[in-house]
Amino acid sequence: MVYGTRAKHLGSFQVRDIPCPYCEQTETQQMSFFGRYAHIMWIPLFPIGKTPVAECTHCKRTYRKAEFSERLRLIAGELGQRVKSPRWMWAGLMIIGAIFLVSAVISGIQDRLPKDPRAEMLQADINAMMAEPMPAYDSTSVVLDDLMTMMAVEELRPETFTYLTKVSGEKGLVLVNVPDLERLESSARPEIMYTVEMIVGTQDALADKQLYYGIMGAGAQFMLVKTPTDSSYARYAKQALLYDFYGPRPPTE
């Protein structure tokens, strides 16, 4: 069993002058205590309880608590207090507790780090990306959608792509989401960036701008990021490179 309970012998005592329920001899009865504990993958989690078992040294029969006489039951109660479940029986719960403590501390530290407000601005733009861009608001995305649908390979399912382009002063932002981007070999992915750049280059709205490109894969994870001064092509590309589109980082209180 990968999980379940196991028993461990905790200790034994000699008990005199108690008649055996089988042979009725009052020779020594030996009382042993077994500690039961829950385990997962053989790692003890926590103790469940102690079970006394008596054995008659005369007839060698063993018998459980249900067969104890009133007196033996009292004796078992008293002796049971003297055996303790060893600490290792709690090992699993202590490990789990330690993991919770460490992750609580880490998330507490993360919550205190001041967040870059530009991350939320980028997220708002990601949320505004559209599969069917509207010519009145984002004509560049309409052209991107039309041409990408023609040029992208079928297995990337171009109908699932979403787009957003935006101009802010001298800067332009181009976001494209290709949910199946990972189906392309990583060496082939930069070609998607090349194609997007080529199409955007034909559009007057973004022609003279400093361009910030972000191409995402599954889960809106950026995989190809390119700015006028830098680029990051990786399974987890540096999306922070795009923050510069929104201007310098505002001071945090």
Binding positions for Zn ion, rule: CB under 5 A:
20, 22-23, 56, 58-59
Residue 167 and residue 114: Cα distance in Å, rounded?
Answer: 27
Q: List all residues 6 or more positions away from 237 whose beta carbon is below 8 Å from its beta carbon.
A: 222, 223, 224, 225
Q: Which is nearer to Zn ion, 34 or 63 (CB)?
A: 63
Strands 210-216, 171-177: pairing is parallel
CB of 27 to Zn ion, least distance (A): 8
CB of 60 to Zn ion, least distance (A): 7
**Minimum CB distance to Zn ion smaller for 18 or for 144:** 18
Helix 139-151 to helix 190-201 angle, to the nearest 10 degrees?
Answer: 130
* CB of 22 or CB of 233, closer to Zn ion: 22
Do residues 225 and 238 touch, judged by C-beta distance below 8 A?
A: yes
Least CB distance from residue 72 to Zn ion, whole Å?
A: 12
In angstroms, the CA 16 to CA 217 distance is 77
| Local structure of 40: helix, strand or coil | strand
Residue type, 149: T
Reference 172, options 151, 196, 145; nearest CA is 196
Nearer to Zn ion, 18 or 79 (CB): 18
Minimum distance, C-beta of residue 20 to Zn ion, in the bound complex (Å)? 3
Q: Pick between residue 20 and residue 216 the one whose CB is nearest to Zn ion.
A: 20
Compute the least distance from the CB of residue 21 to Zn ion, in Å: 8
